[in-house]
């Protein structure tokens, strides 16, 4: 089945198109102190290598805003400034090179201050993400709905979008995040039916690697399968590089986008006679830096191993202290376990260059 995406308006963050017919964009956020330029740039470079296409940084003060120019000069992907409350930080961020900003117009105090943000965004050709979280819904809307329901999140988002539209600004994308999976799904469904602005998907404060991956994959997987969403972030309490890995695995599982090799590995059982956990972990870490789509199988025994390995572009099946490597369905080499990783990676890299 081919997923049919809802057609939304298209905006541009730097050179990256979002919405319309553009591919779904993968993004993340640094967890470094933005004022520490070297640390922030190093983290962005690691994210770029993993496939991150847009990066967001927190701007807590004017020093952080001023650091954006130095950061932008050293990275390749568009830079978004994340702003709360202080309109001056939004304006300064754009003056120092931010190619997008994320604000909640409702917590920018006063129309005149919001006008200054809009004027700067027009001048610098910067789009604005209207970001509403379940913890930032206005008191009046909360009182009306009782708690941050899907309808409350959507009402808040559209109210804030209307503030920008009244000021003549339309280069907008919207996010409405909750830490609750079902609230997230229902809210984005409502929002998608109410607007054609591009949508940024996410589950906020999703949790650690396992919990956060599960919650985000369920919520965003359902939405993406239904054709909702133009860009997204998997939010994890981890190194943000892990977020990018999960993003691409989610897109691959839905056959939306493919980047780098796909790893198939068995969970092991009592028949396994090699250290498959360690081997699979090292191979998985290695393929994160590869861009060529390949099917890679790492199997632990002679029951399903040879069959799965032969179906992959390249695969291995373990035995008693040895491994058998298959390439394109044909037995390539039998290798002692001590040499298996080195030989397998060498052949994997060579195949990646050939494809």
More confident residue, 40 or 279: 40
More confident residue, 345 or 79: 79
Please determine, for residue 350, whether its predicted confidence score (pLDDT) is greater than 80: yes
Q: CA dist 302 to 257, 274, 306, 319, 337, Å?
A: 32, 11, 6, 7, 15
In three-state secondary structure terms, 150 is helix
For the chain, the domains span 11-253, 262-354
Class of domain 11-253: alpha beta
What DSSP assignment string belongs to 68-129?
HHHHHTT-SS-EEEE--S-HHHHHHHHHTT-SEEEE-GGGS-SHHHHHHHHHHHHHHT--EE
* Cα(16)–Cα(56) distance, integer angstroms: 14
Can you give the pLDDT at residue 304? Answer: 64
What pLDDT digit, counting tens, does each position of 298-330 carry? 887 666 666 666 678 888 887 777 888 888 878
* Cα(306)–Cα(322) distance, integer angstroms: 13
Cα 287 to its chain centre, rounded Å, is: 18
Average pLDDT over residues 98-120: 89
Cα 270 to its chain centre, rounded Å, is: 37
pLDDT band (50, 70, 90) for residue 138? confident
Can you give the pLDDT at residue 8? Answer: 97
Cα 1 to its chain centre, rounded Å, is: 24
CB 133 within 8 A of CB 157: no
Please determine, for residue 148, whether its predicted confidence score (pLDDT) is greater than 70: yes
Of the listed ranges 10-19, 84-93, 288-297, the one predicted with least confidence:
288-297
Q: Residue 354 has which token pair?
A: 């050939």
Identify the CATH assignment for 262-354 out of 3.40.50.170, 3.20.20.80, 3.40.47.10, 3.30.413.10.
3.30.413.10
Q: Residue 197 has which token pair?
A: 């602005």
- Helix segments in 170-315, DSSP class H: 181-194, 209-225, 240-253, 276-287, 305-311
What pLDDT digit, counting tens, does each position of 8-56 carry? 999 999 999 999 999 999 999 999 999 999 999 999 999 999 999 999 9
Can you give the pLDDT at residue 305? Answer: 61
What pLDDT digit, counting tens, does each position of 155-193 carry? 999 999 999 999 999 999 999 989 999 999 999 999 999
What pLDDT digit, counting tens, does each position of 213-223 carry? 999 999 999 99
What DSSP assignment string belongs to 196-208?
-S-BEE--TT--S
* Cα(94)–Cα(300) distance, integer angstroms: 53
Can you give the pLDDT at residue 303? Answer: 65
Global pTM exceeds 0.85: yes
Please determine, for residue 127, whether its predicted confidence score (pLDDT) is greater than 90: yes
């Amino acid at each position: 089945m081919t997923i049919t995406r809802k057609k939304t308006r298209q905006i541009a963050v730097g050179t990256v198109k979002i919405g319309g017919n553009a591919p779904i964009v993968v993004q993340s956020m640094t967890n470094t102190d933005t004022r520490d330029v070297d640390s922030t740039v190093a983290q962005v470079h690691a994210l770029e290598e993993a496939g991150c296409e847009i990066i967001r940084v927190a701007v807590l003060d004017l020093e952080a805003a001023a650091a954006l120019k130095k950061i932008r000069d050293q990275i390749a992907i568009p830079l978004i400034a994340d702003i709360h409350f202080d309109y001056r930080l939004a304006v300064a961020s754009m003056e120092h090179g931010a190619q997008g900003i994320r604000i909640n117009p409702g917590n920018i105090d006063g129309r005149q201050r919001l006008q200054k943000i809009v004027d700067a965004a027009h001048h610098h050709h910067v789009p604005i993400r209207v970001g509403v979280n379940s913890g930032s819904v206005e008191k009046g809307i909360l009182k009306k709905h009782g708690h941050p329901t899907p309808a409350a999140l959507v009402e808040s988002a559209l109210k804030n979008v209307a503030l920008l539209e009244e000021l003549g600004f339309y280069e907008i994308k919207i996010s409405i995040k909750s830490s609750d999976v079902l609230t997230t799904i229902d809210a984005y469904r409502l929002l998608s039916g109410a607007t054609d602005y591009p949508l940024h998907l996410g589950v906020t404060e999703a949790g650690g690697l396992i919990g956060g991956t599960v919650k985000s994959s369920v919520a965003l997987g359902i939405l993406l399968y239904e054709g909702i969403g133009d860009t997204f972030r998997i939010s994890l309490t981890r190194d943000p590089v892990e977020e990018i890995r999960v993003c691409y695995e989610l897109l691959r599982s839905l056959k939306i986008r493919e980047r780098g090799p796909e790893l198939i590995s068995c969970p092991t059982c009592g028949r396994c006679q090699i250290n498959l956990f360690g081997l699979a972990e090292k191979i998985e870490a290695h393929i994160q830096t590869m861009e060529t789509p390949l099917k890679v199988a790492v199997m632990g025994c002679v029951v399903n191993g040879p069959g799965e390995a032969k179906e992959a572009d390249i695969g291995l099946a373990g035995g008693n202290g040895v491994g058998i490597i298959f390439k394109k369905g044909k037995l390539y080499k039998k290798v002692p376990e001590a040499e298996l990783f080195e030989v397998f990676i060498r052949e994997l890299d060579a195949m990646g260059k050939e494809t």
